[in-house]
Amino acid sequence: SLFAQKMIGNETQEQKQKRMEWWTQDRFGMFIHWGLYAQPARHEWVKSVEGLSNEQYQKYFDQFNPDLFEPKKWAKQAKAAGMKYAVLTTKHHEGFCLFDTRFTDYKANNTQAKRDLVKEYVDAFRAEGIKVGFYYSLLDWHHPDYTMDENHPLTKKDKSDAAYATLNKGRDMAKYRAYMRNQITELLTKYGKIDILWLDFSFPKPNGRGKGKDDWGSVELLKLIRKLQPGIIVDNRLDLGEYKDGADFETPEQVSTAELAKYKGKTWETCQTFSGSWGYHRDENSWKSHKQLLDLLITSVSNGGNLILNVGPTARGEFDRRATNALDSLSQWMHANDKSIYNCTYAPDGYATPENSKLTYNPKTKRLYVHLFEYPSNGKLTLSGYNGKVKYAQFLNDSSELIYKQAGSNDLTVTLPARKPDFSIPVIELILQ
Ligand code: H79
């Protein structure tokens, strides 16, 4: 751009890389969207999409009773699936807080749960060695000072300036900014070291229809966050303008695997759902297959990025059968193949991607991983231009040797067994010279 980037602090590029090192190596996280919207169970945006009033939404606060909430189980499921970090919605757009806050009564402590659910999440995930992150919604459809905009419930019909002026009489974003600063201060001071803060989201539009950096007080907010938790990793949804390099990673949401190639060379994490919505959705019939989920993970790493895969627990507080089955399948694959994910990135130049496969690479061990999306029916895999570059080849899942031969002057041909290893996507490990 024409304008120089402004700095939030005085961290060097090298220091930033060091701060983010664990995150770029771990590659795979769990997003958890949990809130009152788990009860209507028809999308976490239900309040906005159906234009529900606070009064209409009140029944979900009154009924909230997560009697099966056992975050140790969540943490064990995440760990088994190979997820190294987690991010929980401490507050989503509906404004309901899962944590004990001094600044609103609209919190889990005042429901039948009667306690701080964030605290239990933090303790449980930390105990499993999983890094702990907080999602915090910038939007708030419950706070009385949050001005009504295009995303707000009950503002869909009349979009005239006059209508917005009337709706927003008595609402004061300065007070809402103070509220956010207070709550983020609570979140970043009462729960020990927090590894990630995931703020969501900005939608700048003229005449009060959207919101961005001036509404949030983004630059000042980020300075506060950095002061309270110097090691924390923060997403890029604050609309920082000329301070945008103050954010740590880009956040392509629910994009296709084809689109992820565009992010190669950047620092990024794609966030993805099992079935479309983020909150628990009972009737959604668009669940991704095991192979689609794996494809998202492998494609992310093969383009130098992370995947954070979302679970929407039920209102009773557990992962439902569909989510549990999906995680179990990932566990089996990760148990045998996670070396092609952790500490890996895109392949170095000069290694062509074989047909129907995707490559990842571990620069420290100099191992190249070939993910076989289609198992070659003739039992041969051609590695174009690899001649002289490989010193050993094996399946990753069982370390069984694979025989290869020179073909032509530049290529190698790997001979594969007729029986495909018992994985949807088997991985070949090539130890490079
Ligand atoms: O928290 C999750 C989402 O609720 C939030 N970000 C992730 C991490 C988010 N996703 N999309 N958006 C915010 C932008 C809004 C999209 C919308 Fe819609 C299109 C709102 C109304 C139409 C998505 C689709 C929600 C309802 C239908």
CATH number at residue 88: 3.20.20.80
Same domain, 228 and 370: no
For residue 157, pLDDT beyond 80: no
pLDDT-based confidence at residue 206 (cuts at 50, 70, 90)? confident
In a domain, 106, yes or no: yes
Same domain, 275 and 399: no
Q: Pocket residues for ligand 1 (CB within 6 Å)?
A: 33, 43-45, 49, 200-201, 253, 271, 278
Same domain, 369 and 332: no
Beta strands 269-272 and 306-311 are parallel
Residue reference for tokens 């103050």: 246
pTM here is 0.98
Same domain, 368 and 297: no
Q: In which domain, by residue range, is 391 found?
A: 357-432
Same domain, 287 and 325: yes
The answer to whether 45 touches 93, Cβ cutoff 8 Å, is yes
Among 90, 199, 201, which is best to mutate for testing ligand 1, by the most ligand atoms less than 8 A from CB? Answer: 201
Q: Over the stretch 356-404, which tens digit does the pLDDT of each residue have?
A: 999 999 999 999 999 999 999 999 999 999 999 999 999 999 999 999 9
ipTM metric? 0.96
Distance (angstroms) between ligand 1 centre and the Cα of 277 equals: 8
Same domain, 401 and 306: no
Closest CA to 350 of 393, 386, 301: 386
Distance (angstroms) between ligand 1 centre and the Cα of 312 equals: 14
- CA Rg value for the chain: 24
Which residue, judged by its Cα, is nearest atom 2 of ligand 1?
A: 278
Which residue, judged by its Cα, is nearest atom 26 of ligand 1?
A: 45
Number of independent structural domains in the chain: 2
Among the atoms of ligand 1, which is closest to the Cα of residue 203? 14
Identify the three-state secondary structure at position 351.
coil
Lowest mean pLDDT among 154-158, 231-235, 293-297: 154-158
Among 34, 42, 43, 45, which is best to mutate for testing ligand 1, by the most ligand atoms less than 8 A from CB? Answer: 45
Instruction: Output the six-digit token pair for 211.
Output: 């919101």
Of 274, 305, 338, which one is at a domain's C-terminal end? 338
